[in-house]
């Protein structure tokens, strides 16, 4: 008995019927959906505008003309080149170095000079005690001409993606070394 009275107090015009609830829900969903749709229409272009340069990071996947193919010999040579970078809204130019060489089959490859120990810069044939090797002056890492790690460093030197087009060597992004496997 008392529970019946409480029900009338909470809902003076009687409890809502199933039909009224569903109409209310329908309106809520419709208005909410339309608002969300309009909001997304206004906000998404702004997000895209802000994020777009990050998604389209310039530099990745591009090849840069670095050296004349005719000048590449079986002795590694050092070449430097400029890479235009676009990081978000920030444009900059990085100067990169590659050690380029022709292997026994005449295939040209280019090694990154970044030591795989802690990131110092290696040089070719720069340690008299170990001729014809790459040597890192920081902690003594050594590598073969294919970039195979001989001491200190845990991995072979990385290499650049390489493309020969006409008379020129083009270099692309830096990738893990695949030359060492050819040696084995
Ligand atoms: S950074 Fe090259 S040996 Fe340590």
Query: What is the CATH number for 128?
Result: 2.102.10.10
Structural domains in the chain (count):
2
Whether residues 23 and 90 share a domain: the answer is no
Residue of 123, 130, 139, 155 with the most ligand 1 atoms within 8 Å of its CB, for mutation: 139
**pLDDT at residue 58 in the model:** 47
Give per-residue pLDDT as tens, 55-88. Answer: 444 455 789 999 999 999 999 999 999 988 888 8
108 lines ligand 1 (CB under 6 A): no
pTM score, two decimals?
Answer: 0.68
The pairing of strands 64-68 and 77-87 is unpaired
The atom of ligand 1 lying closest to the CA of 122 is 2
What distance in angstroms lies between residue 156's CA and the mean position of ligand 1's atoms? 12
**Protein residue whose Cα sits closest to atom 1 of ligand 1:** 118
**Positions in the chain short of pLDDT 50:** 1-8, 53-58
Whether residues 164 and 113 share a domain: the answer is yes
**pLDDT at residue 138 in the model:** 97
- Backbone angles phi and psi of 131, in degrees to 5: -70, 155
Whether residues 114 and 150 share a domain: the answer is yes
For 7, 12, 28, 32, 153, the CA distances from 21, given in Å and listed in that order, are 17, 16, 10, 16, 71
Q: Identify whether the C-beta of residue 137 lies closer than 8 Å to the C-beta of residue 184.
A: no
């Amino acid at each position: 008995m008392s529970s019946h009275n409480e029900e009338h107090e909470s809902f003076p015009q009687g409890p809502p019927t199933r039909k009224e609830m569903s109409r209310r829900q329908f309106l809520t969903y419709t208005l909410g959906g339309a608002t969300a749709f309009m909001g997304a229409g206004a906000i998404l272009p702004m997000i895209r505008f802000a994020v777009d340069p990050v998604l389209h990071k310039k530099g990745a996947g591009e090849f840069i003309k670095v050296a004349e193919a005719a000048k590449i010999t079986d002795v590694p040579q050092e070449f430097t080149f400029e890479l235009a970078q676009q990081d978000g809204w920030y444009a900059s130019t990085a100067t990169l170095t590659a050690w380029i060489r022709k292997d026994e089959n005449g295939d040209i490859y280019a090694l990154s000079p970044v030591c795989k120990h802690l990131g110092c810069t290696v040089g070719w044939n720069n340690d008299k005690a170990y001729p014809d090797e790459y040597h890192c002056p920081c902690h003594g890492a050594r590598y073969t001409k294919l970039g195979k790690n001989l001491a200190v460093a845990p991995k072979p030197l990385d290499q650049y993606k390489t493309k020969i087009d006409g008379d020129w060597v083009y270099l692309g992004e830096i990738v893990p070394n695949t030359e060492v496997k050819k040696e084995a």
